Every structure is written in structure tokens, then in C-alpha cells.
Amino acid sequence: MTEETLAAQIVILNGAPRSGKSSIAKAIQEEFDGPWVNFGVDAYNGMTPERYLPGVGLRPGGERPDLEEVVPFFYAALYESIAIHAGLGLNVVADVGHHDSYSQPLGILVDCARRLEGLPVLFVGVKCPIETIMKRRALAVPGREGLYVQGEENGAVPEPVLRWQNEVHMPGIYDLELDTSVMTPLECAEAIRQKLDLGIPSPSAFERLAGER
């Protein structure tokens, strides 16, 4: 790739587990022109030592304060990698689940936004009603059996699932929001394509987040 062809885009998909982020990322890779590299929770955790898992996938609630010291560094490395790839002209889609509900606030999302300053970032909120989330959690995913917390026998939604639903979209600053209960992954990808074609808003969501103090 030459300097004249460098026009990389970055799409950050943020949402709870089983909201449909990975399926959208796959649709983007399959349907969009040019190379789209996927930097997401699953990909990064595949490189993370087992004793530090769930790494960047650490769920809300302050359940593992012993891991919290390294999680910001994992996120920093993930976003620096995104910046390097985009700087080389490679488009990046990243499916993540940002929150700040640790045993104490860590400010990870703001730090990540600052690491992508000067790069074109579309921040997408991937939303899905809790009822649909629970139905998806009940379905076996090849290679990921037992990974997701299931519903309780009395039909109540488990507390960890509720925490994800309540915390992952804080503070709720996005360039685009998608509801995967009414849109297919391909339809979501097309909505993202249209947004990219129109141009990322200025200031973008990440620019606003990076400016927070």
C-alpha cells in the first residue's frame, strides 16, 4: 500500500456480551472493500495468559480487583495496536465491552479515545434488549460452550448479565447506535457503511470522550 492509498477507517463496536458485536464485525470483514482487521475482546484474550483472563473482558461489578491493575495496560496495548494498523492504512473493526464499573473507576474508555486522537474513529453502540440477550445466551455457541452465564431456573436475569446491560453503555456517547434485536448483522454493517460514506461527525464521539477531564 502506498501513501496515496492510505485512508484507513476505525470502527469500534461497544456492547454487552451476546449483543451481536462479533457478527457485525464478521459482516464488515466480508462485505466492506479493502482489508478489515478485527481487534476485539476474543482476539486479544486469545493472546492473553490464562491466569490473567478474562483480561479486557473483565465484567462489571469489581469481581476481580486482583486483575484490575493490568486491565488498563491490556486496553492501552489493544488501542495502540489499532492505531498502528490504521496508521499503516489497514482498516480496523474492534468489538469490545467498555465499562467503568470496577472496584474503583479506571477511566479506560477516555484513555483509549486519547490513544486514537487524529484517526477517523466511528464509535458504535451495539444495543439489544435483555430478553433477546438471554435467549442468545441459552444457545450453544461452538467452541464457547459454558462461556456465558445462563438464566436462572425461576426465570430471573442473573446479576452479572444485568450489570453488563446497565454499565456497558455509560456514558452513552456514540456516533451511531444499532439495535440488533431488529437488525441483522448485514443490516447493521450497511448502516455503518452509510455512516462512513457520509463522514464521521465532527467532533466525533471519541473526540468528545478524549476531551473529558
CATH number at residue 164: 3.40.50.300
Omega cis (within 30) before 54: yes
pLDDT of residue 45: 95
pLDDT of residue 137: 83
Angstrom distance (rounded) from CA 105 to CA 85? 29
Beta strands in 53-167 (DSSP E): 91-96, 121-127
Nearest to 192 by CA among 179, 210, 208, 176: 176
Per-residue pLDDT of the chain (213 residues; tens, 9 = 90+): 444 445 699 999 999 999 999 999 999 999 999 999 999 899 999 999 999 999 999 999 999 999 999 999 999 999 999 999 999 999 999 999 999 999 999 999 999 999 999 999 999 999 999 999 999 988 745 554 445 454 445 568 999 999 999 999 999 999 999 999 999 999 999 999 999 999 999 999 999 999 976
Spatial contact of 77 and 111, defined as CB atoms under 8 Å apart: no
Domain span at 161 = 3-210
Helix, strand, coil shares of the chain, percent, nearest 5, are 40, 10, 45
pLDDT of residue 138: 81
SS3 100: coil
pLDDT of residue 2: 45
**Tally of structural domains, the chain:** 1
